[in-house]
Amino acid sequence: MIGHSIDQPHRRRNLLTGEWVLVSPHRMQRPWQGERAPAVSAEQPRHDPECYLCPGNTRAGGMRNPDYAGAWTFPNDFPALLAEAPALPPASPLFQAEPVAGEARVVCYSPDHSLSLATMDDRARLAVVEEWCALSQELGGRWSHVQLFENRGAMMGASSPHPHGQVWASDFVPDRVQREDDEQRRWWETRGKVLLAEVVEAELAEGVRVIAANDHWVALVPYWAAWPFETLIVAREDVRRLEQLSEAARQALAQVLGTLLDACDRLFDTPFPYSMGWHGAPHRLAGDSAHWRLHAHIYPPLLRSAEVRKHMVGFELLAETQRDLTPESAAQRLREML
């Protein structure tokens, strides 16, 4: 069963998390009278004197940004994790807690306030890719997991329109990553193959959910996508962490990322909001990572226009994720934007 001809309600299983998503294609025609977010104006100056991420400006903590060129990383002034784990009262079965340590940094993608990963050129995007790889390597040397991510747009909680992402490194493996580790390991042990390698092979053969591909990467809407235009960028080679990418693969990533994000921006003619992030083998696993394949998730909330977003509420909060638009239709609409 390949899924794209199903127009009746069904569930699909997310192989990376083990969770199910309810798909209800027949519901696409229902009327909408709910929330409309105001459309975002795309015009931004190249330098904003009020922006705390622009070169030369002073941040809330009083630090002054250098006149940086290209990508530039600095310690988060309000980090969610601190380098020293606190002493905690003894754990109890009813009130379980454990100490955590880590560090958080902000990654400015460009000194140009008006750009985004979607609109910068391949050379500038490559500088961001190189920065991600360097951060994964450096922080992975002393932490259990390195989570790189970006919130784009006020709708996703981005605090500034300046192109930037974050990296949080931790002495624990976060829940979602642990789940992906468990599922990929189970697949490896029961089938003797890398889960995402098999997925990529099948998706390329079938084509319906593939948006763009080159020698090193495939960008697709996963069969089990939960968000309307959720996408996955997967490495085609046996690469488990960002720092293992060859120079050619880094260049190819800059290119496919540009192609995909540009298509997303065109879809509703708006800077497409999203949360995006990288999943590689947790560094705690060291060499025990043969079941892993490096990939990025992109989760955009928009549903049918720049103003109408999807909310995860009701049945989804209480029971299971649900979608109306099929992943196959979503992929087709993104392909039409290429």
In the complex, residue closest to Zn ion by CB? 279
Distance CA 59, CA 64 (A): 6
Residue at token pair 């340590």: 101
CA distances to 97, 160, 210, 294 from 143, rounded to whole Å, are: 20, 28, 34, 18
145 catalytically annotated: no
The partner residues of 166 in beta bridges, in order of sequence, read 106, 149
**CB of 268 or CB of 278, closer to Zn ion:** 278
Smallest separation (angstroms) from Zn ion to the CB of 166: 17
Closest distance of CB 272 from Zn ion, Å = 20
Closest separation in Å from C-beta 296 to Zn ion: 8
| Packed helices 175-191 and 195-206: angle between N→C axes, nearest 10 degrees | 80
CB of residue 332 to Zn ion, shortest distance in Å: 24
Residue tagged active-site, from 145, 162, 164, 283: 164
Shorter beta-carbon distance to Zn ion: residue 103 or 180: 180
The answer to whether the beta carbons of residues 81 and 101 sit under 8 Å apart is: yes
Q: Please list, in sequence order, all residues whose beta carbon lies within 8 angstroms of the beta carbon of residue 100, skipping any fewer than 6 positions away.
A: 81, 85, 170, 171, 172
Question: Between the CA atoms of 129, 135, 140 and 146, what dihedral angle is there, to the nearest 10 degrees?
Answer: -70
Binding status of residue 180 toward Zn ion by CB under 5 A: yes
Binding part of the chain for Zn ion, among 57-65, 129-137, 149-157, 275-283 by CB under 5 A, reads: 275-283
Whether the Cβ atoms of residue 120 and residue 163 lie closer than 8 Å to each other: yes
* Number of residues counted as binding Zn ion (CB under 5 A): 2
Nearer to Zn ion, 180 or 203 (CB): 180
Interaxial angle between packed helices 327-335 and 247-267, expressed in degrees from 0 to 180 and rounded to the nearest 10: 100
Stretch that binds Zn ion, among 149-157, 173-181, 223-231, 268-276 (CB under 5 A): 173-181
Cβ at position 231, least distance to Zn ion in Å: 12
Q: Tell me: does residue 241 bind Zn ion (CB under 5 A).
A: no
Residue closer to Zn ion (CB basis): 16 or 108: 16
Cβ proximity to Zn ion: between 113 and 240 the closer is 240
Candidates 61-69, 132-140, 265-273, 276-284 — which segment interacts with Zn ion by CB under 5 A?
276-284
Would you say 212 or 233 has its CB closer to Zn ion?
A: 233
The residues in 277-306 that bind Zn ion, with binding defined as CB under 5 A, are 279
State in angstroms the smallest separation of the CB of 138 from Zn ion. 21
Tokens 């991510």, residue located: 149
Q: What is the b/e burial string over 50-87, where b = at least 16 CB atoms within 10 angstroms of the residue's CB?
A: ebbbbbebeeeeeeebeebeebbbeebeeeebeeeeee
How distant, in Å, are the alpha carbons of 151, 210, 237, 247, 334 from that of 216?
25, 14, 7, 11, 20
Would you give the binding string for Zn ion spanning residues 90-129, x where CB under 5 A is met? ----------------------------------------
Q: Using CB under 5 A as the criterion, which residues of the chain lie in contact with Zn ion when the complex forms?
A: 180, 279
Which residues are annotated as catalytic?
164
